[in-house]
Amino acid sequence: MRLKSTELQSEFDEIGAIKIPKFLQKDALEEIKELYNELGLIDLKHTYTNVKDKSAEFNNKVNQIITGLSKESIANHFMDYQISGGAFLIKGIGEESHAMLHQDWNVVDESKFQSAVIFCAIHDIDERNGCIQVLKGSHKWFNNIRGLNNPSPIMEFSKAKKGLISFPLKAGDAIVFRHSVIHGSKPNFTNQNRIATMVSIASKDADYINYVKEENEFKVLKVSANFFNQDFSRLWSNKSIDEIVLDRFKIKDGMSLVASDYLEAYNNRYPLSTLDKVKKMFNR
């Protein structure tokens, strides 16, 4: 998986995220808005995606429409890739709609392959309604594993005084960010839900996988490209799925993180200035 633009690829390697203007055109946005209305979301106060609670049939419909509308633009910008996992990512209204800084699940073996989310704005998105923000270069800080029963740590935005990059988007613009980059979004304080789509993109030759933590080891499951649309809601409800076990390995240091690991890595990358240290001392 690589970007055709060497300039964008360099930015993607350095920051962990890039912006692609006019990723979707107006007619595609209108079709997605009609599909969004089928969700029937009322009084939403948190962040929501259809893969958590909708049927596999509906999720497959959403996947086919969103990935279908995205394919041409993806082909214009990427090479050596595979795509999957088209879904909605909706931010409700109010304080509870925030998504603290975190990493997404591994979907491929990140020691060998790359993967990312293409997040597309269906209407204008900025810091008022919760645009994506990433910690620059944080995809290089760890070689950790994230999954349902070994979740990513979280970090409050108030802890990140430096290194955050905001990605405001016009309707149809997209941000592409690595699953491994630390990212999040602040609350939506407007009077309407923030509507966006997401598509997963990964290296062409990679297997899609899911990690399951079992005591002192990880079990590696091979899953289909439609895993999140078909099986995620079952996992979320503590139901079993069909398993193809590719591997098992012992958990080593650095594979399973806690919040203090984030803070330590952040402070190493962005150490306090002398003035900040003085302020911190007097604010104790």
Q: What is the pTM of this model?
A: 0.94
Residue with tokens 């996947």: 63
What is the model's pLDDT at position 275? Answer: 60
> pLDDT tens digits, residue range 171-227?
999 999 999 999 999 999 999 999 999 999 999 999 999 999 999 999 999 998 888
What is the model's pLDDT at position 41? Answer: 95
> pLDDT tens digits, residue range 109-119?
999 999 999 99
Q: Which pair of structure tokens corresponds to residue 1? A: 């998986």
What 8-state DSSP symbol labels residue 138? G
How far apart (Å, rounded) are the C-alpha atoms in residues 198 and 184? 14
Cβ count within 10 A of residue 248:
11
pLDDT classification of 284: cutoffs 50, 70, 90 = low
**Residues above pLDDT 70, as percent of the chain:** 95
Structural domains of the chain, ranges and CATH numbers in brackets = 2-282 (2.60.120.620)
- pLDDT at 283 exceeding the cut of 70: no
- pLDDT at 272 exceeding the cut of 80: no
